[in-house]
Amino acid sequence: MRHPPADIDITVADVDRLLADQHPSLRGPLHRVAHGWDNDVFRLGDDLAVRLPRRETAAHLIAHEQRWLPALARRVPVPIPVPVAVGEPDELYPWRWSVVPWFAGRRALDLAPHERDAFAGELGGVLRALHTAAPVEAPRNPYRGVPMAERDHTVRERLTALPELLRVWDAGLAAPGWDGPPLWLHGDLHPGNLVVDGGRLAALIDFGDLCAGDPASDLSVAWLAFTPAGQAAFRGALAGRYDDADWTRARGWAAALAPIFLGAEDDGMRAAGEHVLAQLTRE
């Protein structure tokens, strides 16, 4: 699935102008490092990055990060991109933006699945800390953390050509739903949003889909990222927290995400799609 077109093209000169006007003390060498689904990211010097929405429909998501990540960082045992500075729109750029820390390391997406298994238990511990009851004003997300029935029509169409995955989705759909309070979720937990350094989990990034809801969509990372050995370590770190129905829904969410990965422009994302397809059809 190709990235949606940008509503605005953002250049290095645009970012430098915004910094010069609003945060001149942070100016430094800039270059683009990511052209994502919703945001462009520019590395700023050695230690910072600038994250700017590129689509109006997703521009409000950065406000969720700015509001909620400072509090969540106090409970999560790995670094997350708490804004160092917040930018405001101006006459040329229409949305809020953030300066965030730059985390040294590699995307977990660029490691082989068996290499990612080394931090599976650690990631499970991070989710144990993150998945706590969210306040009533926490953001909701129409795509993640919702009851699976709300996504059934779209997902069913997406999985028409992949009947083996449709069976996994249907099993999740038939499982009992989440009956606890809405929990804090990362919302987009996959190997591309995990930073690894020296074989350890160095950071969780890209909280644009941060929301409250059913944790099963976050738990789908077990199949998106790991081999059976890593899945066992991940589940072990969450022992007693989730039951069989929760994990069945999580497998369903992994099936729903597989075709998105398979259709991605990024080679690593496509490989992740092939991995989850192999994991779910092997079971």
* Phi and psi based region of residue 198 (left: phi greater than 0; alpha: psi -120 to 50; beta: remaining): left
Domain boundary among 101, 130, 154: 101
Same structural domain, 53 and 88: yes
Backbone φ, ψ for residue 89 (5° rounding): -65, 155
Same structural domain, 63 and 134: no
In a domain, 116, yes or no: yes
Same structural domain, 95 and 113: no
pLDDT of residue 108: 96
Find the CATH number of the domain harbouring 206. Answer: 3.90.1200.10
pLDDT of residue 2: 55
Same structural domain, 118 and 24: no
Q: Which domain holds residue 43?
A: 12-101
Q: Which of 82, 117, 97 is nearest to 225 (CA)?
A: 117
Residue listed under structure tokens 């249907």: 170
Same structural domain, 96 and 113: no
Find the CATH number of the domain harbouring 62. Answer: 3.30.200.20
Q: What is the pLDDT of residues 72-118, one digit of tens each?
A: 999 999 999 999 999 999 999 999 999 999 999 999 999 999 999 99
pLDDT at 71 over 80: yes
In a domain, 6, yes or no: no
Same structural domain, 183 and 80: no
Residue listed under structure tokens 């800390």: 129
- What's the number of domains the chain is made of? 2
Same structural domain, 40 and 143: no
pLDDT of residue 11: 95
Residue pair 256/169 in contact (Cβ under 8 Å)? The answer is yes
pLDDT at 283 over 80: no
Query: 85: which strand partners?
Result: 99
What is the band of 4 on the pLDDT scale with cuts at 50, 70, 90? low
Domain boundary among 84, 101, 118: 101
Same structural domain, 61 and 120: no
Same structural domain, 140 and 97: no
Cα 92 to Cα 8, 52, 82, 89, 162: the distances in Å are 10, 13, 25, 8, 44
In a domain, 2, yes or no: no
Residue pair 154/203 in contact (Cβ under 8 Å)? The answer is no
pLDDT of residue 157: 96
Distance CA 139, CA 5 (A): 25
In a domain, 7, yes or no: no
Same structural domain, 187 and 262: yes
pLDDT of residue 227: 97
Same structural domain, 113 and 59: no
pLDDT at 37 over 90: no
pLDDT at 16 over 90: yes
Q: Which of 185, 196, 245 is nearest to 221 (CA)?
A: 185
Same structural domain, 93 and 169: no
pTM above 0.75, yes or no: yes
**Average predicted confidence (pLDDT) for the chain:** 95
Residues belonging to the chain: 283
What is the band of 267 on the pLDDT scale with cuts at 50, 70, 90? confident
Domain boundary among 67, 101, 135: 101
Give the three-class secondary structure for 211: strand
What is the band of 138 on the pLDDT scale with cuts at 50, 70, 90? very high
Mean pLDDT, residues 266-280 taken together: 92
Q: What is the pLDDT of residues 195-210, one digit of tens each?
A: 999 889 999 999 999 9
In a domain, 4, yes or no: no
pLDDT of residue 3: 64
